[in-house]
Amino acid sequence: MQKRKADLLADAAVLLDALATLGTAGRDPYTDENVLAQAVEIGLLDAQGELILDYPFSARI
């Protein structure tokens, strides 16, 4: 169980670092819709479920 926890924490750290590199100065990369849309486009994140069609970034993903 502890090994699995350590593995998940390591994976989360890699993902958070990757998101941070996609961000721009002065904006929080974890809440920036451009960063999150790009993360979905390149496969870092998965957009599951229905997308809201009138959401401005849904056309990009």
Per-residue pLDDT band for 43 (boundaries 50, 70, 90) equals confident
With 60 as the cut, is the pLDDT of residue 46 above it? yes
Per-residue pLDDT band for 45 (boundaries 50, 70, 90) equals confident
Please report the pLDDT score of residue 13 as a whole number. Answer: 95
Residue 57 C-beta-side C-alpha neighbours within 13 Å: 11
Residue 5 · residue 25 · CB < 8 Å: no
Please report the pLDDT score of residue 47 as a whole number. Answer: 67
Residue extents of the structural domains in the chain:
2-60
Query: Which ranges of the chain does DSSP label H, i.e. alpha helix?
Result: 2-22, 33-41
Phi, psi of 46 (to 5 degrees): -115, 130
CA distances from 18 to 8, 14, 26, 30, 50 (A): 15, 6, 17, 10, 25
